[in-house]
Structure 1
Amino acid sequence: MPHNKPTLILVHEPEKACFDRLVAEGFAAERAIEISSYLAQSTDLAPEFGQLAAACEKHDLAFIAVELDGAAEILAKADRVQTVVWTLTDGIAYFRGGAAPALARLNGLRTIGVDDALFALCQDKFRSGAVLGTLGLPVPQAGLARNGEWLVAPPASSAGWFVKPNRLGAKIGIWPDSRCHDLGHALELSLRVFAHYRDDVVVQPYVAGRNARASFLGLKPDTGIEALGVAFVDSGGDFQTMADSMALYGDTGQAAKAAGTYAEPELEAVGASQPEADRKIGAIAQKLMRALGLRDVFSVDFRVEADDTVHLIEFEVCPGLPCFDFRDYCRRQWGMSLADAMAETAANRLTT
């Protein structure tokens, strides 16, 4: 641990560490593979740690990548004045990355990202939705079911319902039948989710529209909502399933690239075709920043209807930095590679 040089510490939880722990806890290997795949950004970013170190060196920063299991010891020894901590992967249930910003706070270290309390909130979709609704934001109402029983009855919906795990990663669906047209099937899905993943399900009225993502990186401390990048993310399907996700990231995604079968979803600026929807999304993100405390680095997922109706689906405090959409955002908004954008962000935090 260098003590004479400003240092960026990147804390990440590897897929294998998560997989081994889940298997030890009794999860079937196939389920453990699926669950741990949500940590694929650790797998995808690891080959670029050398590039990150070189980019940091340009700013006279040291770079240290720390696996989560070793973070407590490393952060306890870090220099409070010359260290900034960036948490790559979050989690409060299957994943444990939410502990990293709490450890940083415990040791008096500066962080890039939101307060640790929001790491927990964003990972519990039902509680998060309740808070977002209280703020007056356009989030779909939700019911909650556990293992075939309603804990909170879902609202009526003429368009059917959408069923998703409450705490597992950030996906908006697991299987192709996650959209259903009767509540009996929603309860069957909750049985399946509980058997596979030991999780509750959120059951929301289905909302039509295109999937859109707002990305944000506060490269400079005074960066505001003007740096938000909002894009439609079109993958050819109505929503992303577990299989879709696994085909894009981690070892499966790397194998697809090697085989020449990898295909990224298409990105299109929302403002190019629906400027009013783009304006609404910006206003929602602004409220999330002011009222909820989002800052530094985050993403927000939406559904956008053709008439510019916007539905807020969820927010992420640890967006997939090495994913295609965030890399594209760094290029378009900041004119930088991911490594250079991360290094400059860290340098600005340590020199202001």
Structure 2
Amino acid sequence: MPNSQPTLILVHEPEKACFDRLVADGYPTERATEISSYLAQSTDLAPEFGQLAGACEKRGLAFTAVELDDAPTVLMKADPARTLVWTLTDGVAYFRGGASPALARLNGLKTLGTDDSLFALCQDKFRSGAVLSALGLPVPAAGLARNGAWLVEPPASPAGWFVKPNRLGAKIGIWPDSRITELGHALELSRRVFAHYRDDVVVQPYVAGRNARASFLGLKPEAGVEALGVAFVDSGGDFQTMADSMALYGDTGQAARNAGTYAEPELEPVAASQPAADRAIRAVAQKLIAGLGLRDVFSIDLRVEANDTIHLIEFEVCPGLPCFDFRDYCSRQWGMSLADAMAESAANRLRS
């Protein structure tokens, strides 16, 4: 008999499913491990599905966690009047989570999060940057290189450049030498990225400053940019590498916890030391909401200079919910655990 309760369906792509697919496609094990590590939020949240189910039950909701490969069948059978789909993991290249909101729309189901077109846009940093620039947002200009050849040459930059994959990761540089002073080095990095990951590289003028993240969860339907959590994220380095990222999440992060070597970056509210920058970041978020259609749950990564100049690096429509920073945001902004904040957001969305 069909469930008569309103139901939250959380669709996620597990790391192992991605790993197996990449290996079958010819990626070496080490590369497949690195790439699939971006889906670590599925690994990290899975042990809390029971807590999430309990939090939903308190609010009159049923909860179902669905692996992406099972989503077409599950969503096809779901009741549009009683179902809300929340997509945990995104992707249109190495990962496939961007299919989930499209499947929900195909089956007439409500979704929590932005529309499916933005799931594709945010995964392609060069195209995303072009759109953000057209909206008048402070995003660094960019060049694009593929396997040692320029597709678009980057602008001049006395401070040097920063090189990152176009579709794999948003802000990390993969290797410690990703900040460069010679464009020939950028082409060498593009060859390395292409050989390892089959991806292009974005080459942007290097921008100084501190790393900041703005997190948003529309727990209440009327929540706006005042509910944004804006914090400096200090990991002790100028930028994050692949190794830094893997050390925080998934099985690698859990192993570090078990060994007592796990260390989270420090979070500091931007408003505490740079209130003007905090206001500027909220204004950028408002433009993204109005001009791009961000809603419900998202994050923004930025660089903030000492003079309050801000640089928009990327936006994410599937922020790492079980990550340390989003948990901190839920606690500070909403006074709730992650499970309760997710359940409350879903319940309010289904009522609206």
TM-score relative to the length of structure 2? 0.99
**How far is 1:187 from its partner?**
0.2
Helix, strand or coil at the partner of 1:301: strand
Does the alignment pair 1:73 with 2:80?
no
**How far is 1:2 from its partner?**
4.3
Does the alignment pair 1:27 with 2:27?
yes
Count of residue pairs the alignment pairs up: 352
Tell me which amino acid in the other structure corresponds to 1:68. Answer: L
Does the alignment pair 1:299 with 2:273?
no
**Matching residue of 1:84:** 84
Does the alignment pair 1:38 with 2:38?
yes
**Matching residue of 2:244:** 244
Deviations 1:157-176 (A, max 9, x none): 00000000000133431000
**Matching residue of 1:349:** 349
Q: Distance in 2 between matches of 1:149 and 1:204?
A: 16
Does the alignment pair 1:107 with 2:122?
no
Deviations 1:129-149 (A, max 9, x none): 000000010000000000000
Q: Distance in 2 between matches of 1:242 and 1:279?
A: 31
**Matching residue of 2:163:** 163
Helix, strand or coil at the partner of 1:136: coil
Q: Distance in 2 between matches of 1:298 and 1:52?
A: 19
**How far is 1:220 from its partner?**
1.4
Q: Distance in 2 between matches of 1:303 and 1:110?
A: 34
**Matching residue of 2:119:** 119
Contact 2:171 2:313 in 1 (8 A): no
**How far is 1:225 from its partner?**
1.1
Q: Distance in 2 between matches of 1:3 and 1:340?
A: 22
Structure 2: any 5+ residue segments left out of the alignment?
none
Q: Distance in 1 between matches of 2:2 and 2:255?
A: 37
Once the two structures are superposed, the pairs formed by residues 154-233 of structure 1 within 5 Å of their partners are 154-233=154-233
Structure 1: any 5+ residue segments left out of the alignment?
none
Q: Distance in 1 between matches of 2:171 and 2:310?
A: 18
Once the two structures are superposed, the pairs formed by residues 308-327 of structure 1 within 5 Å of their partners are 308-327=308-327
**Matching residue of 1:149:** 149
Contact 1:2 1:62 in 2 (8 A): no
Helix, strand or coil at the partner of 1:243: helix
Contact 1:3 1:78 in 2 (8 A): no
**How far is 1:301 from its partner?**
0.2
Helix, strand or coil at the partner of 1:213: strand
Contact 2:85 2:112 in 1 (8 A): yes
Q: Distance in 2 between matches of 1:273 and 1:170?
A: 26
Helix, strand or coil at the partner of 1:214: strand
Helix, strand or coil at the partner of 2:233: strand
**How far is 1:113 from its partner?**
0.3
Q: Show structure 1 runs of 4+ deviating over 2 A.
A: 169-172
Contact 1:171 1:242 in 2 (8 A): no
Tell me which amino acid in the other structure corresponds to 1:42. Answer: S
**Matching residue of 2:280:** 280
% identity of equivalent residues? 83
Contact 2:172 2:242 in 1 (8 A): no
**How far is 1:44 from its partner?**
0.2
Helix, strand or coil at the partner of 1:199: coil
Q: Distance in 2 between matches of 1:210 and 1:80?
A: 44
Q: Distance in 2 between matches of 1:216 and 1:10?
A: 18
Tell me which amino acid in the other structure corresponds to 1:148. Answer: G
RMSD over equivalenced CA pairs, Å: 0.7
Q: Distance in 2 between matches of 1:46 and 1:169?
A: 22
Helix, strand or coil at the partner of 2:247: helix
Tell me which amino acid in the other structure corresponds to 2:130. Answer: A
Helix, strand or coil at the partner of 1:248: coil
**How far is 1:221 from its partner?**
1.5
**How far is 1:222 from its partner?**
1.5
**How far is 1:3 from its partner?**
2.8
Deviations 1:4-45 (A, max 9, x none): 110000000000000000000000000000000000000000
